[in-house]
Structure 1
Amino acid sequence: MIFALDIGTRKIAGLLVDMDEDGKMIVHDVVLREHEHRAMLDGQIHDVEKVAKAVKIVKEELENRNNVKLDKVAVALAGRFLKTYFGEATMNIADLGELTSDIITKIELEAVANTMENVEPNMYCVGYSVIRYELDGMWFKKLEGLRGDNVTIKVVATFLPSHVVEAMLSVLKKVNLTITHLTLEPIAAVNVTVPEDLRILNIALVDVGAGTSDIAISKDGTIVAYGMVPIAGDELTEAITKTFLLDFSTAEYVKRNLEKNEVLRVKNILDKEKEIRVSDVIKAIEPVVEMMTKKVAEEIIELNGEKPQVVMVVGGGAKVPTYTQFLAKHLGIDEEYVSLKMAKNLDFIDRTGQIIGSEFVTPLGIGYTALTKTGSVFEHVTVNEERIQLIGFKGSYTVWEVLAQAGKDIHSLLGKPGKSVVVEVNGEPVVIKGKMPKPAPVKVNGREATLRDVVKHADVIEVGEAADGEDANPMLYEIIKPIRLRSLESDEIIEYYPRVKVNGNDIIQNIPLNDGDVIKYESVKVKEIREFLAQDLIKIEYSVNGAYREFTAGEVKIFKDELELRDENSVELGEELKYALVLNYPKVKDLPEMEKISVVIKINGQPTVLTKEGVIVLVNDQLVSPEYEIRDGDKIKTQIPDEQGFIVADILKLFNFDIKKVKSYNLLKNGEKVGFTEPLESGDEIIFEFETIEDMEEVD
């Protein structure tokens, strides 16, 4: 059973229909509902909420009376802003065998797609009719079951602005209805009133609603054109309102009862009872009827190229007396060839007993086109084994658009990003974002695809669930970047982290961070890094006179590029420095125990200070010089010699000569000749003069 819904300018009609074994439509129930105020104008939805409210009432009444759940609906759109385009498509079918309805639909939709080359942006194709079927160059009324080489199909497609379609979708979404069939109102009306066998005649169908007068033209066995005039029944109602000072709803009552009474009793806007004669009303609206029919006649002739043989008029707006007479006049044809088509005269089964007047033709047509699957621009694809109709033909759809129309939740397709964490670092906010989600896995016809891939009619789509992104779970050292220290010897890198406080607490390890944590750190000096690296220097242990000692045998050199850094230099987090560990053993002469003694004397008239070690050193019981390099495990002893004074021989180290080459010398201490072992004391004056062998040779 199909729920057919006609959302008109003045009222909504909901029908429950199906088809018997002989292909005849059965109407099981019908509900009519007037709009509150003027929620629609000229066939277009202006107040989504009010229209949705009325649709909900119709839907629920049908559900309650028939004990059914309605979640799918067939609808039609009025022809306001209608544009039509022609297109055709050809396909080689030699290898396809008998033509099926799916193959034919595919070619029809390709023809519709070909009309879109000249269509302005933001337009939806909302319906089409086939103008001509050809098989191997020959015309056929139907193609199903036939075989051949090439099929050509020509169509006329109807387009409306996207906002018209989207308004309808918004209304239906609010009442939990999914469109399974969408067409244009004149297509629906012509399908039920002008059977294919009659389309050999040149017939103009005029559907006069409250806001628009929609037109369809048949000729040579098919529908050849669609059109629209934006003038209809509301123009008549407004004329009655102005002439007799009635509110709009009272004027509507008068208009609808012109054929039932000779005199109508109503209240005007001044709350005064008033009798209105039908003849006066007809006279008052006659200029408007003439204007309306004149414009409709002009549009028919424009679409048809000439006056038609027959005109069928449907819709509630055409029920006023004189409409068909004036239309015949302006078309220049006999009145007997222009008639109001009543729903009760159509070939269907009415179980309600209410489907009588011309206003029911379009609702019946919506149900009929849905049952026969004609006039709709729906393509279909399969999503996770469920067949999905695509609303508003565009020529191509992305997987994303298909899934959106199938009612998939956006989050289930894209997933949600993980939650972020915000911390404060030295007074500045830092945002650590959660991980991005993984979109739902998609396959089209068994092949890996994405949500942006384009699909076509009859494609099979498989879609899984998106994976939400993980929440941010930052660690301290993701925020506090290390200083990278690269060894010049091994090229290995050591990471150095500064001293950090988190929420006032000293932290020396990589801890998880929480939203709102406050992190503080101070700039890093080279001295800190040097002390850190010095831990890798060689440490030696030794003893001096039985006392244990430890010494770091070396130094750390730190470079930025080629520049050696000093201890007071600052280093930015994330920088890379180079370093070298230079081995350097301590010497005996550097020991604190190595006391020095000195005297001040004059040598050849110059004041001079003589200095020497005041102790002797034994390392591992062996006498060593002050230049000895101390090694791990050495046992050092120091002794004060018995004789600690200076002798004249101590001055010889101040002269640069080879004692073996001295030929003669003169040595005086305080003016007297002395030997080299003579003791020296502070204040002594020494004269030392000498002559070498080289000096004598130069004189010769």
Structure 2
Amino acid sequence: MSKREVRNLLVGLDIGTSKVVCVVGEILPDGRIEVVGEGSAPSRGLKKGVVVNIDATVQSIRRAVENAEQMAGCRAQSVYVGVSGSHIKSFNSTGVVPVRNREVNERDVESVIDAARAIAIPADQKILHVVPQEFVVDGQDGIHEPVGMSGVRLEAHVHMVTGSLSAAQNIQKCVESCGLRVDKLILQHLASSHAVLMPDERDLGVCMVDIGGGTSDIAIFKGGSVRHTAVLPIAGDQVTNDISVAFRTPVPYAEEIKIQFGCALPEFAASDEMIEVKSVGEMPSRTLSRHTLAEVIKPRYDELFRFIRKELHRSDFYDVIASGIVLTGGSAQMPGVRELAEAVFELPVRIGVPQNIEGLKDVVRNPVYSTAVGLLLYGIQDQPKLVSRGGDSGGPGYLLNRVSSWFKGNF
């Protein structure tokens, strides 16, 4: 009997407002990640990134994970989970400590980061991330790796992200109810940035916008580090709702029309290309031009981009994003979106797709999967010492872990 193959697997779970996406990545011997499984399911229990129905969310997660497991030929045991929503807050903080032995060591770095995060936050908020931006040793700034440097005073500038404690607990409960363990809750736009941004863009200055179904997530990078993050409650679902109201058609069919025929610029849509639109109730279907559809879609995208531009000005980072704007997410792939964004922002705009990853072509070159792939890339950095995970296809150890996780999530 041959020995069972041991596989190093990571699982990313993007729980979005319109869709739940699960991606399984196998860590290759050279450290790269190959996507070996993908599963998705319509999301029924979330509104603007926040769980509003536990049972519906659990069903969506379970369906997406099972599809990914079947494609990858494995069983997921733990997942990296993306989190977003209007409850997300972010701010920059600074900490200062003395250097104990006149030479900075790992303990000093941990101490100064702890000092930076030691600020009062509301009782209903939970710290999700403390991301170092740069270190200052005796007044010398711009240092990213201070260990080994001589000095007497160490200062750290960090970017902190907090989220609603109850929202995080609800997401964790939904995942654990599916028999899975949460490795870490990760801000979705930080995850997406790992997948779509180039190192030179991060250094020069760039704004990444992940346009999903319920929220649009903003992350600004400069000097190789994140400087500002924000969440706007305007995204693809508002476009769908506008189509539904304007054409008096059911929301599910409005979403189908948007995906199949949508265009953000009327001049890109042929006025003689006709679309059959189903009516509500027993009313007969009607025929409308694709140009008319684009005239409904454009104002909502224009409004979204103007809100983003206003946020960039409010954060005082509009003038430092020399690389321009990177749009990603499912709602960013509509024809005409990039051109409309360039007109509004007056900056270069590109559509971001996952980079530095191999495997399924439909996943690795599609902005819909940017967050899920980013969760894998974040996870491999979060685990310097990789252990065998997810490779079990059954067995008592796996079953015991699955049952234990289920009990934790339900009792």
Query: Which TM-score band applies after superposition, normalised by the shorter structure?
Result: 0.7 to 0.9
Question: What secondary structure sits across from 2:114 in the alignment?
Answer: helix
- CA displacement at 1:358 relative to structure 2: 1.5
Pair 1:230 & 2:239 matched: no
Between 85-94 and 181-190, report the one with greater CA deviation: 85-94
Contact 1:258 1:321 in 2 (8 A): no
Using the TM superposition, give the Cα deviation of residue 20 of structure 1 relative to its aligned residue in structure 2, in angstroms.
Answer: 3.4
**Counterpart for residue 402 of structure 1:** none
Match 1:364 to one of 357, 364, 373:
373
Q: Please tell me whether residue 106 in structure 1 is matched to residue 110 in structure 2.
A: yes
Q: Which amino acid aligns with 1:158?
A: V
Aligned AA (2:195): V
CA distance in 2, matches of 1:125, 1:26: 31
Distance in 1 of aligned mates of 2:246 and 2:112: 50
Q: CA deviation at 1:171?
A: 0.6
Q: Which structure 2 residues correspond to residues 383-422 of structure 1 after superposition, within 5 A?
A: none
- The alignment status of 1:87 with 2:103, answered yes or no, reads no
CA shift, 1:111, in A, is 4.5
Q: Which residue is 2:179 aligned to?
A: 176
Cα deviation, residue 15, structure 1: 0.6
Show the counterpart of 2:327: 313
The correspondence for 1:338, drawn from 338, 349, 354, is 349
Deviation at 1:12, TM superposition (A): 0.7
Distance in 2, Cα, partners of 1:56 & 1:244: 34
Show the counterpart of 2:135. Answer: 133
List aligned pairs for 1:277-292, cutoff 5 A: 277-292=289-304
Q: Residue 188 of structure 2 corresponds to which residue in structure 1?
A: 185
1:267 aligns with 2:281: no
**How far, CA to CA, are the matches of 1:112 and 1:18 in structure 2?**
36
Q: How does 1:568-607 map to 2 (within 5 A)?
A: none
Question: Could you say which residue in structure 2 is the equivalent of 1:69?
Answer: 75
Quick one: which of 162, 167, 190 aligns to 1:164?
167
Letter in 1 for 2:82: A
Shift of 1:65: 3.6
**1:27 counterpart letter in structure 2:** V
Contact 2:235 2:304 in 1 (8 A): yes
CA distance in 1, matches of 2:252, 2:111: 48
1:295 partner amino acid:
F
Q: Distance in 2 between matches of 1:35 and 1:408?
A: 21
- TM-superposed CA distance for 1:66, in Å, is 3.2
State whether structure 2 residue 315 is matched by structure 1 residue 303: yes
- State the 1:407 CA deviation: 7.4
Residue pair 1:99, 1:143 contacting (<8 A) in 2 also: no
Distance 2:183 2:14 in 1: 14
| Corresponding residue SS for 2:374 | helix
User: RMSD of the TM alignment (CA)?
Assistant: 2.9
Report % sequence identity: 17
Query: In the alignment, residue 193 of structure 1 is paired with which amino acid?
Result: V
Identify which range, 21-30 or 53-62, moves more after superposition: 21-30
Counterpart pick for 2:343 among 329, 344, 365 = 329
Q: Are positions 1:256 and 2:275 aligned together? A: no
- The AA in structure 2 aligned to 1:80 is S
Instruction: Give the 5 Å matches for 1:430-441.
Output: none
SS at match of 1:304: coil
Distance 1:409 1:286 in 2: 48
| Cα 1:27/1:137, change in 2 over 3 Å | farther
Aligned partners of 1:12 and 1:55 also within 8 Å: yes
* Unaligned residue ranges in structure 2 (runs of 5+): 1-8, 264-268, 384-403
TM-score norm. by structure 2 comes to: 0.80
Q: 1:163 to 1:172 in 2, by over 3 A?
A: same
Matched position secondary structure for 1:70? coil
Q: Is the 8 A contact 1:233 1:317 kept in 2?
A: yes
Matched position secondary structure for 1:143: coil
Q: Which segments of structure 1 move beyond 6 Å, counting only runs of 4 or more?
A: 406-410
Give 1:328's aligned amino acid: E
Taking structure 1 as reference, are residues 254 and 6 closer, same or farther at Cα in structure 2, changes over 3 Å only?
same
Specify the SS of the correspondent of 1:257: helix
Aligned partner of 1:11 in structure 2 is 19
Residue 57 (structure 1) aligns with = 63
Partner of 1:661: none
Report which stretch shifted further, 347-356 or 9-18.
Answer: 347-356
Whichever structure has more strand as a proportion of its residues is: 1
Alignment equivalent of 2:223, drawn from 220, 227, 238: 220
1:123 aligns with 2:119: no
Q: Relative contact order (alpha carbons < 8 A, sep ≥ 6): 1 or 2 greater?
A: 2
Counterpart residue identity of residue 113, structure 1: R
Unaligned runs of 5+ in 1: 375-405, 411-700
How far apart, CA to CA, are the structure 1 residues paired with 2:43 and 2:157? 39
- CA displacement at 1:220 relative to structure 2: 2.7
Distance across 1 between alignment mates of 2:67 and 2:108:
38
Aligned residues of 2:247 and 2:277 also touching (Cα < 8 A): no
Q: Kindly provide the amino acid, as one letter, of the partner of residue 30 in structure 1.
A: E
Q: Secondary structure at the match of 1:15?
A: strand
1:215 Cα deviation from its structure 2 partner:
0.5
| Correspondence for 2:38 | 30
Preserved CA contact (<8 Å) 1:87 1:111? no
- Taking structure 1 as the reference length, the TM-score comes to 0.49
CA distance change for structure 1 residues 108 and 206 in 2, over 3 Å: closer, same or farther? farther
Tell me if the contact between 1:209 and 1:232 (Cα under 8 Å) persists in the aligned partners. yes
Q: Which of 48, 63, 78 is residue 42 of structure 1 equivalent to?
A: 48
131-140 vs 215-224, which moves further: 131-140
Match of 1:208 among 197, 208, 211: 211
How far did 1:7 drift?
A: 0.4
Q: Deviations over 1:591-620 (max 9, x none)?
A: xxxxxxxxxxxxxxxxxxxxxxxxxxxxxx
Are residues 65 and 315 of structure 1, via their aligned partners in 2, closer, same or farther at CA, if it must alter by over 3 Å?
closer
Q: 2:306 aligns to what?
A: 294
Q: Which amino acid aligns with 2:166?
A: H
- Please report how far the alpha carbon of residue 91 of structure 1 lies from its aligned counterpart in structure 2 after TM superposition: 4.4
Against the structure 1 CA distance between its residues 179 and 194, is the aligned structure 2 distance closer, same or farther, given a 3 Å change threshold?
same
> 2:262 & 2:112 partners in 1: Cα distance?
44
CA contact (8 A) 2:109 2:147 kept: no
**What is the distance in 2 between the residues matched to 1:104 and 1:199?**
27
Alignment of 1:584-663 (within 5 A): none
Partner deviation per Cα, 1:157-184 (whole Å, 9 max, x = no partner): 1111212111101211211222112211
Q: Any conservation in 2 of the 1:226–1:303 contact (CA below 8 Å)?
A: no
Give the aligned length.
Answer: 368
Measured at CA, do residues 146 and 329 of structure 1 come closer, stay the same or move farther in structure 2, by a change above 3 Å? same
The one-letter code sitting in structure 2 at the alignment partner of 1:106 is E
